[in-house]
């Protein structure tokens, strides 16, 4: 069983510019958590603080009962028992795959080392590749060697910084599934950094959306998608449009497109906006409609219409048999969904 990680109000500044700002985060045993956020929001800096590569200027980091970092002391990276994997995999080019995996195995007999390397090669399905050099492997195979090396010495925690960004899109999601299985089989906790919500949904158990050096919200993908606590989180998890709305009762809001039923309870009253995602909207022809068709694409099974709704642009899928004309006026029907309501 691996230990729980806790970041308690950590802050870090580069040249007095706050990059991580009173950030708190918890990671449960065997959990894969994704730090997700736009470029420059402080994800890598947070990962470096966990790894011990930088020291936070304030705050405490704990791994299980051990304090890794506080005002008083800071455990150096080599004593944190964490495995790391970065975007370029950082394999040693002059070492074979087996030697790369064995690299971090200190204080073991030769026979035990060989056994552990063989176990790791089998785990990542590269049994036949131990004698090859990194340049003789595909990008995906190199990535699996990197994960084998990071896991070989049984770390308490695995830190992965954009590990899939160099992988071809066509094989990326198969690899994500493979590596998730390997990490789960080994019962290791992991923190994974990405700016891709698709990767986060596929790889992580929980997501922590970062914004301006803080965690905006932490939870499962479904919790964050259905109950975003802010517009930042709602927008980060998917496109949509804001439509003025007034709460009618706990299950309904009034919008310019009619009354919309919410599948989750709403606040008791209020005026504000609902954030409606494309799959909850349907287009209908309506010469008095408030929606203007801007362009359309046929993508095989359906059309994707780019429309303007109250000066916001959004792409809405529609069945192939439902065809609209360029510049046609349209209206929307909004299907019952877990309405995201933001009060004024």
Q: Which is nearer to ligand ATP, 161 or 280 (CB)?
A: 161
Q: Rounded CA gap, 183 and 165, in Å?
A: 19
Q: Which is nearer to ligand ATP, 176 or 274 (CB)?
A: 176
* Beta strands 241-249 and 252-255, pairing class: antiparallel
Q: Rounded CA gap, 218 and 224, in Å?
A: 7
Residues 5-24: x where in contact with ligand ATP by CB under 6 A, - otherwise, as a string: ---------x----x-----
339 binds ligand ATP (CB under 6 A): no
34 binds ligand ATP (CB under 6 A): no
57 binds ligand ATP (CB under 6 A): no
Which range of residues in 43-51, 98-106, 260-268, 277-285 is near ligand ATP by CB under 6 A? 43-51
Q: Which is nearer to ligand ATP, 37 or 52 (CB)?
A: 37
- From candidates 2, 45, 214, 217, binder to ligand ATP by CB under 6 A: 45
- Residue 249's CB is within 10 A of a number of other CB atoms, namely 12
- From candidates 33, 34, 43, 150, binder to ligand ATP by CB under 6 A: 43
197 binds ligand ATP (CB under 6 A): no
228 binds ligand ATP (CB under 6 A): no
Helices (H) and strands (E) in the chain, counts: 8, 20
Q: Rounded CA gap, 311 and 291, in Å?
A: 9
Say if CB 203 and CB 158 are below 8 A apart.
no
- From candidates 23, 34, 41, 167, binder to ligand ATP by CB under 6 A: 41
Size of the site for ligand ATP (CB under 6 A): 11
50 binds ligand ATP (CB under 6 A): no
Instruction: Provide, rounded to whole angstroms, the least separation between the CB of residue 217 and ligand ATP.
Output: 16
The number of residues in the chain equals 344
- From candidates 2, 4, 44, 331, binder to ligand ATP by CB under 6 A: 44
Look at the alpha carbons of 269, 272, 274, 275 in this order and tell me if their dihedral is positive or negative.
Answer: negative
Q: Which is nearer to ligand ATP, 13 or 29 (CB)?
A: 13
**Inter-CA distances, 290 with 59, 242, 281, 286, Å:** 51, 14, 14, 9
**Inter-CA distances, 272 with 149, 214, 248, 254, 340, Å:** 51, 25, 12, 10, 10
Which spans of this chain sit near ligand ATP (rule: CB under 6 A)? 14, 19, 37, 39-45, 195
């Amino acid at each position: 069983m691996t230990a729980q990680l806790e970041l308690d109000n950590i802050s870090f500044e580069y040249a007095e510019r706050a990059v991580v700002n009173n950030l708190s985060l918890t990671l449960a045993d065997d959990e894969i958590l994704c730090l997700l956020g736009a470029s420059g929001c402080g994800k890598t800096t947070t990962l470096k603080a966990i790894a011990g590569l930088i020291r936070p200027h304030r705050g405490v980091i704990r791994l299980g009962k051990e304090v890794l970092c506080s005002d008083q002391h800071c455990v150096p990276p080599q004593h944190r028992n964490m495995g790391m994997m970065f975007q370029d995999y950082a394999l040693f080019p002059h070492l074979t795959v087996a030697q790369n995996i064995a690299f971090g195995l200190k204080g073991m007999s030769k026979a035990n080392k060989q056994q552990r390397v063989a176990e790791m090669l089998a785990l990542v399905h590269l049994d036949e590749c131990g004698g090859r050099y990194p340049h003789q492997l595909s990008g995906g195979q190199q990535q699996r060697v990197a994960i084998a090396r990071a896991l070989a010495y049984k770390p308490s925690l695995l830190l992965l910084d954009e590990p899939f960004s160099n992988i071809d899109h066509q094989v990326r999601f198969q690899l994500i599934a493979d590596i998730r299985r390997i990490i789960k089989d080994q019962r290791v906790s992991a923190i994974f950094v990405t700016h891709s919500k698709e990767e986060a949904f596929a790889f992580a158990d929980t997501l922590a959306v970062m914004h301006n050096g803080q965690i905006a919200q932490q939870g499962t993908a479904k919790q964050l998608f259905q109950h975003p606590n802010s517009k930042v989180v709602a927008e980060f998890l998917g496109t949509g449009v804001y439509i003025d709305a007034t709460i009618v009762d706990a299950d309904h809001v009034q919008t310019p497109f009619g009354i919309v039923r919410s599948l989750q309870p709403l606040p008791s009253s209020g005026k504000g906006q609902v954030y409606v995602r494309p799959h909850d909207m349907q287009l209908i022809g309506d010469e008095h409609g408030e929606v203007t068709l801007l362009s359309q694409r046929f993508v095989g099974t359906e059309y994707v219409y780019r429309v303007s709704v109250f000066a916001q642009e959004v792409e809405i899928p529609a069945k192939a048999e439902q065809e609209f004309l360029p510049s046609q006026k349209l209206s929307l029907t909004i299907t019952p969904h877990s309405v995201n309501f933001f009060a004024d």
